[in-house]
Amino acid sequence: MLVAVSLIECFFLLTVSAAQTIQVDITPAHVTNRFVPNETLGAGVDRIPAAAIDKDLLEPVLKQVFASGWQPVTYRQNTELAIEAWHWNPQGTWSDPAGKGYFTGSATPTETIRYSYGYSLPHRGTTRNDGTDNAGFSRLTDGDLNTYWKSNPYLAQRFTGESDALHSQWVILDLTQNQQVDSIRIAWAQPYATRYVVQYWTGDDPIKAQTKGVWETFPHGEVTAGNGGTETIRLSDNPSPIRFVRILMTESSNTCDSHQPADAKLDDPRNCVGYAIRELYLGTTTADGDFHDILRHTADQEQTATYASSVDPWHEPSDLLSTKQAQVGFDLFYTSGVTRGLPAMIPVALLYDTPDNAAAEIEYLKKRNYPISYVEMGEESDGQFMVPEDYGALYLQWATALHRIDPKLKLGGPSFQGVNKDIEVWPDANGKVSWLGRFLDYLKQHGRMNDLAFFSFEHYPYDGCKTPWGTLYDEPDLVNHIMQVWREDGVPLNVPMFITESNLSPAASETYMDMFAGVWLADYIGSFLNSGGNGVYFFHYLPLQMEHGCNDSPGTFGMFTVDANYQIQQPLSQFFVAQLINLEWVQPGAGEHLVFPAKSDIDDGAGHALVTAYAVKRPDDQWSVMAVNRDQLNAHRMRLVFQDQATQATNFFSGAVDVSTFGKNQYQWHPAETQFLAHSEHSGEQPVIAITKGKADPDGPVLHTRQTGEKDAWYDLPAASVVVFRGKLVR
C-alpha cells in the first residue's frame, strides 16, 4: 500500500510539473526569425495638432518618449486619408502660372520646413471613406452644377500606356435602402465618357462586401456613343427596388476640362483626359416623360452618398482649409532628434498627388543628407476604394520617377488598413478577387517586381467598442494568420513584411490605458516576430491629448497622458510594456537576435492558452523569455525548460536570472467619471463628457528582481502580467 501511495504522489507531481511549464525549442534548425532591434522595433509619427508638434518635439518630452525604447521611426502620411493633396514643402510651383493646378514642392533647401499641410480636392467624388470620417462631401450630389468630380488623369492611357478600358473608372450611388429606380440623369462635364454602362448591385454592399453580389447592367444601361452634356437614360421599362447604382466608364472623349479653356495658353494634358461629371440624378420617369429625382443634393454629409474610383489631384491655394493640424515638416522631423539619427521610413503621396511632387520630395531629403530607410508608396489605398490595377499603374509611374532620383531607393506598400483577413475586390475577368494577388500580378505582368522592395500593412485587430478580456486570446492567431494570407497571395519570401502602423484598434478608448493594452502589446510584438515579421512600428509615438473614444470613452493612442500644454503627466501601460520589450527582452542596439519557438501548456479549459511565451537568443549570449499571463484573475508558477529537439538535450537557466515584472501590482488604471448631457451646453460638445480625469495608480515602474536559475526553479507570473526572464543556460 505504501508503494501505491508513493506512485500516485509521483504521478501527481509529474502532472503538476508538466502542466506548469514554458518550453523553449532551442533547436538551431527551428529558428523562426532573425532581427536587429534598431532596425526592427520602431514607432510612428503622424499628422497631429500643430500645438503638439511645438511641444512634443522638444528635449524634455522626447527624453521621456525615448525611455520607451522604440528605435526607428516611420513618418505616417495622413493627408491621403482625408482626400487631400500633400504640400510636403509649402514652397513650390503650380502647373498653372495663375497659381493653381498641380503643385510640385521645391526640391531646393532654403528655409526650415516646420509644418506641411494637406489641401482638400475640389473634384472629390467620395462622400466619406475610412479616413475622412464625416468631413467634406462629394461633388457628384452637392447640388452645384458649377462643381464636378473628375478622375485621376494618371490613370488615363496618356500616362499608363494602356487602354483606358484596362483602368475603367467608376462612380457609385448609395441610396441607403432599396428604392424604385428606372432612370438616371447624368450632367457630364469635360471630359465625358463616350462609352459606359450603368449597373445595379445584386448583393448587400458592394463597398464592404465586394464578393457578396455582382454588378448587373440595366436592360438599357449600355451607352456606346455618349455625347456629353446632360443625358437622361431610361434604364429599364419598369421600376425595380435598387440601393446601389454604378456608372462604369471605359472610353473618354479626351476633351479638356474647365481648367484649360480653348482660348487659354496653358497646355497641360492632365486637363484633357479621364472623366468628369457635374451632378447625378436618379429616380423614375412617368408616362408623360417627366423625370422624378430621388437623390438628396446638398454640399454636406447628408447628401446622397457617392463613391469614386479616383480623384483628380488638381487644386488651388484656397483649398487649404485649416492649419490647426499638420504633418511634421521634414526639417523639424530630422533635426529635432525624434529619429535618434537612424534612417527613417518616409512616405510619398500617391493616390492624390503627382510623381513630380514625390520625386521632388526625395530629391529635397537627399540634398539635406537626411537618411532614408524605405519609401512607402501612398497610404491605405484599400480604404480609398482604389482597385489594385489602378494602384499598380500609379505605383509604377511613381517608382520610375523616384528611381530617376536614386536607383537604390527601397520602395514598397501599399500600407493596407488593419484587417484580419484577405482584402477582396470585385472579380476581374479571370474571377480573381484578391486585392494583393492582383496587384502583384500587375507588377509581374509589367516585369517590375523588383520595384517592390518591401510589403507594408497596418494592424488594428479589434473593434474598439468590443474588447472583452477574452479577445486577448485571439491576437497571436490574428497576426500570424494575416501574414500567412499575404504570403499565400504571392508576396515573395525574399520581400520583407513591415507592419508600419499598429495598435489595438483604429478607435481610441480607455482600453488603451488599461492593463489590457499592455498585455496585448507584448503578445502582438512577440507573435509578429515569431511569425517572421521584419519590422514593426508602434503607433502613436508622440504624446497626444485624450480623444473622444469608442462608447464615449476618452482615450489616447499615445503612451502618456498629457495636460493642456502637452506636458507629460503619466506613463501608461503600453509605455511600461514597451520598456520590457525594448530594454529587457531584447538587447538594444544593432546586434542580431534569434527567435525560437516557445509555448506553455496552461489553458482555460476551452482551448485558449492562458500563458504565451516568446524566446530570443541575444547577441550578449543571454537567453530571454517574455512570458505573457493572459489570465486576468490567477497567478501561475512556471518552470522554464530549454530543449534541443535534434539532440534531445534539455537545459535550464543557470546562475543569476534577471526578472522584470509588470502586472496589477505595478499598474492599475482608474477610469474617468462621465456624465450624460441631454442637450449640449456648448457648441459641438459630445453627448457624454468626462467630469473627472482617469489616472493610473499604481503607475509603475517595472519591478526588477533577481533569482537563481536551476533545474527545479519556479518562476512566478502574476495575474494579467508581462514578465521577462533573462539569463544564461547551463554549459
Mean pLDDT across the chain, nearest whole number?
A: 94
Q: Which residue has the higher pLDDT, 255 or 554?
A: 255
User: Which residues lie closer than 8 Å to 544 by C-beta, 6 or more apart?
Assistant: 48, 49, 52, 556, 557, 558, 562
pLDDT band at 310; cut points 50, 70, 90: very high
**Above 50 in pLDDT, residue 6?**
no
Question: Over the stretch 540-580, which tens digit does the pLDDT of each residue have?
Answer: 999 999 888 888 888 999 999 999 999 999 999 999 999 99
Q: Which residue has the higher pLDDT, 265 or 384?
A: 384
Q: Which residue has the higher pLDDT, 134 or 269?
A: 269
Beta carbons of 253 and 188 less than 8 angstroms apart: no
Average pLDDT over residues 231-238: 97
Strands 497-502 and 454-459, how do they pair?
A: parallel
Q: Which of 146-155, 265-274, 497-506, 584-593 bottoms out in mean pLDDT, i.e. has the lowest?
A: 265-274
**Above 50 in pLDDT, residue 2?**
no
Average pLDDT over residues 469-483: 96
pLDDT band at 12; cut points 50, 70, 90: very low
Beta carbons of 382 and 422 less than 8 angstroms apart: no
User: pLDDT at position 674, please?
Assistant: 80
pLDDT band at 15; cut points 50, 70, 90: very low
User: pLDDT at position 677, please?
Assistant: 78
User: pLDDT at position 272, please?
Assistant: 97
User: What percent of the chain has pLDDT above 90?
Assistant: 89
**Above 90 in pLDDT, residue 134?**
no
Question: Over the stretch 502-529, which tens digit does the pLDDT of each residue have?
Answer: 999 999 999 999 999 999 999 999 999 9
User: pLDDT at position 9, please?
Assistant: 37
Closest CA to 524 of 484, 488, 474, 570: 474
**Above 80 in pLDDT, residue 262?**
no
User: pLDDT at position 621, please?
Assistant: 96
Dihedral sign of CA atoms 248, 252, 257, 260 in order: positive
The residue behind cell 447624368 is 186
CA distance 345 to 359: 15
Average pLDDT over residues 402-410: 98
User: What percent of the chain has pLDDT above 70?
Assistant: 97
Question: Over the stretch 80-113, which tens digit does the pLDDT of each residue have?
Answer: 999 999 999 999 999 999 999 999 999 999 999 9
User: pLDDT at position 127, please?
Assistant: 97
Question: Over the stretch 587-613, which tens digit does the pLDDT of each residue have?
Answer: 999 999 999 999 999 999 999 999 999
- The x, y and z cell numbers of residue 613, run together, are 511565451
Average pLDDT over residues 668-683: 83
pLDDT band at 675; cut points 50, 70, 90: confident
pLDDT band at 4; cut points 50, 70, 90: very low
Question: Over the stretch 489-506, which tens digit does the pLDDT of each residue have?
Answer: 999 999 999 999 999 999
DSSP state of 656: E
CA distance 138 to 303: 8
User: pLDDT at position 552, please?
Assistant: 86
Angle (CA) 611-614-616 rounded to 5° is 155
CA distance 541 to 562: 13
pLDDT band at 7; cut points 50, 70, 90: very low
Helices 435-445 and 475-489, interaxial angle, to 10°? 30
Q: Which residue has the higher pLDDT, 689 or 624?
A: 624
**Above 70 in pLDDT, residue 466?**
yes
User: pLDDT at position 19, please?
Assistant: 56
User: pLDDT at position 693, please?
Assistant: 86
